[in-house]
Amino acid sequence: MLPSGIRIEEHPLISRPEIEPLVFMGLDGQNEVQLLRTHASELHRSLRPESYYSICGCSLWVMQGGGKLEIADEQSAWDASAAITRDGAVIFEVPNRSPGVTSPYRVLAVYGDHWVVELAERTENPDASIYFSGRVFVDGQSLNDKYGYQETFGFQTIAGRPFYFYRRDSQIGVAADGQEVPLQYDEVPHYGCCSAGALNPRIARNMIAFFARRDDRWYYVEIGAFEENR
């Protein structure tokens, strides 16, 4: 289903997770402590040094070869233009409406010969309520444009392979090392701030843990190249 060594473990829940504090219960009777214990050691493994993730309006930078890639907070009011520089020279720039209460700059990372930036943007839906939408760019190419996605978010590497979420036809799936898996989720909470951030995906070196909704059923999901499989 996913590239060799990467596994999906999906646990149906009795209801939507509660926050403050985070509480959830599996249909099999396991509580959050028991469900989080399965791959606890993997969840605590730090990210690779070539990956940087932001939840504030901070400047992000990463080294690629002998060059320094950097993205800085250049927003003003509700308008922004995201730019990537290499050793001070702009190599990529794109308009990006500030999401306001969360950082527009989510990820700056490199893998192999590629560089990746993930941006959060303020978007308005038809009933005029405001939400956040993600865009992942690889070497300056929008994955939304390239593959016809409505949204991409949650970029990281798992066991060195690129991984991200995508939304197409209002359904959310994942892509690992270029292989799409249409999981058909209707919702995966992300970019939440303050107490809502408890439902954001949790990333680690070789895995990701997140909550998802398919129809009326909520799930706790772990995807990774787990140590016991390698």
**Interval 2-30: pLDDT, tens:** 776 789 999 999 999 999 899 999 999 99
pLDDT number for residue 54: 54
Annotated domain spans of the chain: 7-225
Which one, of 91, 98, 40, lies nearest residue 69 by Cα?
91
The CA distance from 74 to 210, in Å, is 30
**How many CB atoms within 10 Å of residue 54?**
19
Beta strands at 217-224 and 171-176: parallel, antiparallel or unpaired? unpaired
pLDDT number for residue 197: 84
For the record, the structure tokens of 64 come out as 């690629």
Place of tokens 């929008």: 142
Residue 127 above 60 pLDDT? no
pLDDT number for residue 73: 57
